[in-house]
Amino acid sequence: ELARKLKQEARREAQLENQALLAEIRAKLAEQALEEERDLFKKTSEIDDIPPAPEPPSQPDSTQSKPSSSLGSSGIIGHQYYTTVGAIIQSHWALPPNLENGADLQATLVIKINQNGKIIDMFFEKKSPNAMFNQFVTNSVNASDPLPPIPPALGLKEIEFEMFFSKEGVH
């Protein structure tokens, strides 16, 4: 009984430490997002003064290349936001001892977040055969709600993430 209480106390202490760390991460991300928005605004106003480039000559359909996707500043901000969301959910992820040695403990969950950081929907893309593990996945996500607001630089009202859960943690 004493060992169980000590474990619970240790988990609570770890959660408090994680919450303090997450608050610090949230503040830094908000600061970065604001700075990046200012930079984007400045660059946009400078670009407005440049005349548009002429259209390239058209090529036959068989040789036209598709535009390559690049990580612009919104891609970087989106990646930072995804990383932050993952870290917050990970902070609520402490697999119960009775599940630590289980097999097939993997699940993929899709999480939909509104611009204020509220989780508005979640569903399993792939469930674990272990129902307790699946319940623990949803409990960890629910315990993380609300998440940080979507960075304004992304210009999104909602965002959807696919998160992978295993014994090792959240990916």
Question: Can you give the pLDDT of all 171 residues of the chain as single tens digits?
Answer: 788 888 888 888 877 777 777 777 777 776 776 676 666 656 555 544 544 444 444 443 333 333 333 334 567 888 888 889 999 999 998 887 877 777 779 999 999 999 999 999 999 999 999 998 999 999 999 999 899 999 888 888 999 989 999 988 888
Task: Give residue 57's pLDDT.
Answer: 42
Residue given tokens 């870290």 in the structure block = 87
Q: For residue 74, give the nearest of 40, 45, 41, 118 by alpha carbon.
A: 40
Instruction: Quickly list DSSP for 65-79.
Output: PPPPP---HHHHHHH
Residue given tokens 């993997």 in the structure block = 106
CA atoms within 13 A on the CB side of 67: 3
Alpha-carbon torsion angle 73, 76, 81, 87, nearest 10? -160
Which CATH code fits 2-50+73-170? Answer: 3.30.1150
Please give the C-alpha separations between residue 44 and each of 36, 38, 48, 60, 105, in angstroms, as whole numbers: 12, 10, 6, 33, 47
Helix 73-91 and helix 2-47: axis angle, to 10°?
Answer: 170
